[in-house]
Amino acid sequence: MTKSFRLVQEFDIVDDYFGGDQMWFKSQYDVKTGCGPVALANTYAWFTQKPLSLADMKQLQEETLSYLQGPVLTPGKYIRGARKLFQSKGQKIESDSIIILGSGSVKRKEMILFISKSLEDNRPVTLLLGPNNPRQELPHEEIYRKDFSSHWVLVTGLDVTGDDAVLYVSSWGKEFTLELSRLMKSKLILSCVSIKPLGKL
C-alpha cells in the first residue's frame, strides 16, 4: 500500500515551468554551480504563494546570489544563505536538517520521516544529492542518476511503499521522480533542509 505526501497547493511558482532553472543565470559560472541558489529561490517563491513570470523568477534567482553563491557543499551554508535572503525581506526563519550516510532501511526510514513531516507541514524540502558513489554495493549496476551528482533539488512530493519511497523533485525547471533506495546506494551522502518562515511573507 502506498501513502502519498504532497504540498497543499500545486507547485506552481513560475509560469510554464516546474520551478527555476540554473540555466537561466547570466553568468556561466552560476549556470554550472547555481543549483543551490535555485533551490533557495524556489523555496522563497513557494512561501510567497505568488506565481511569478519567467522574468520575475530570473530576477529572483539573480537576487538570491547576493545571499548564497554556489557551489553550496553543506546544509549549513545553505541555511545561512536562506536566513540572509529571508531577513532581507523582513522575515525570520526556523530550519531543520539531516545528513544521511549509508543506504540501509534504517537510513531510508529516517529520510522518509524527515521529508514526510515537512510536506505534512506544507514545507518543501531542499535535498542535496552528494557525489556519485564509486563503490556501490552492487558494482554491476549503473550509478543511478549520474546527472544528479553534487546537486540540489527541491522535494515537492513523496510516495512511500513499505520502507522505500519515490521522491518528486524540482530541478532545471522540470519535475523529476527519484527512487530513494537506488539514489541512496548511488550517492555518498544525502542531506535535507527544511525551512519554516516565522509568519506570512
Average pLDDT over residues 160-183: 97
pLDDT one-digit tens code per residue, 113-166:
999 999 999 999 999 999 998 875 555 567 899 999 999 999 999 999 999 999
Q: CA torsion sign, 193 to 197 to 200 to 201? A: negative
Q: Which of 13, 2, 60, 4 is nearest to 34 (CA)?
A: 60
Decide if 177 contacts 168 (C-beta within 8 A): yes
And the C-alpha cell for 195? Answer: 525551512
Question: Exposed, middle or buried: residue 44 (CB in 10 Å: 0-12, 13-18, 19+)?
Answer: buried
Decide if 43 contacts 118 (C-beta within 8 A): no
pLDDT value, residue 143: 85
Residues near 178 by Cβ (< 8 Å), separated by ≥ 6?
145, 148, 153, 166, 167, 169
pLDDT one-digit tens code per residue, 85-106:
999 999 999 999 999 998 889 9
State pTM to two decimals: 0.94
Decide if 159 contacts 4 (C-beta within 8 A): yes
Report the phi/psi class of residue 136: left, alpha or beta, with left for phi > 0 and alpha for psi in -120 to 50: beta
Decide if 169 contacts 127 (C-beta within 8 A): yes
